[in-house]
Homo-oligomer: A and B are copies of this chain.
Amino acid sequence: MQTTINYRYERSASRLTVGAHLFGILALILLLVWLLHYRGGIDYDSDNSDRVFNVHPFLMFFGFIFFAGEAMMAYKTVMSGHKVQKYVHALLHLVALCSGIFGICINDMYSLHSWIGLTTFILYGLQVPATFLFSRGMSESSRLRIVPWHMSMGRALLYLSICAALTGLMEKFAFLRISNVLGRRESHLINFTGLSILLFGIFVDLSVALARYV
């Protein structure tokens, strides 16, 4: 009976990863439509400061959050041995870390978005290398003891990064609205992008946690 139930939740958890992929890709498409069609495009090396700025939301969502989320789900999505899953998990986190380093954009440290964003990135920037370094010299039993803390920290960081993304969208939204350049369509687009990012986070989180609830 217990095995049947566990199996049921494992299956549900892998269905949740499908949901996470879908919401992640949906958020990416909506974000690209917003940045390319409404906000003048994305260009790292341009005279137009808006286009340079647009690199930030793109890299922070697609490069950082999306890859970090995929890394968290690697143990469920990669149909292979534990060792391969572990390498994919580490590789995807490295991609996320590098994207974050290129994508972070500190104009000022005034708003709630910048506070949450920088906190997230510093903690993430500590967790990824710390995991690499500490887990090397550890015995199997110490490693197993660390796992719940590593997962909890990772989940909290995902939570933080989603909050950073949403406060960022909300900040941009408020400035565009006050400047009277925000039409009804663009505002809906921003909101749907925000909801998709939020649902991506929820699905990643549940897929990681659900099978462990039994």
Contacts and interface: CB of A to CB of B under 8 A. Distances in A.
Interface in A109-144: 110-113, 115-116, 119
Contact of A170 (B174, B177, B205, B214): B174
A95 to B, nearest CB: 25
User: For chain A, what secondary structure do more than half of its interface residues adopt (helix, strand, loop), or is it mixed?
Assistant: helix
A155 interface: yes
Contacts of A115: 191, 194-195
B160 A198 contact: yes
A74 interface: no
Report the copy number of this chain in the oligomer: 2
A96 interface: no
A29 B210 CA distance: 34
Interface residues of A, number: 45
B166 A116 contact: yes
A178 to B, nearest CB: 5
Contacts of A177: 110-111
Interface stretch (A47-55, A59-67, A84-92, A146-154): A146-154
A159 B199 CA distance: 10
A166 B169 CA distance: 11
A173 interface: yes
Contacts of A206: 152, 155-156
Contacts of A201: 159
A148 B5 CA distance: 11
A190 to B, nearest CB: 6
Contacts of A110: 177, 187
Which 7 pairs of residues, A with B, have the shortest CB-CB distance? Answer: A174-B174, A148-B213, A167-B170, A170-B170, A112-B194, A178-B178, A156-B202
Given A155-B205, A163-B166, 7 more contacts: A111-B177, A112-B169, A116-B195, A148-B210, A148-B214, A156-B205, A167-B169
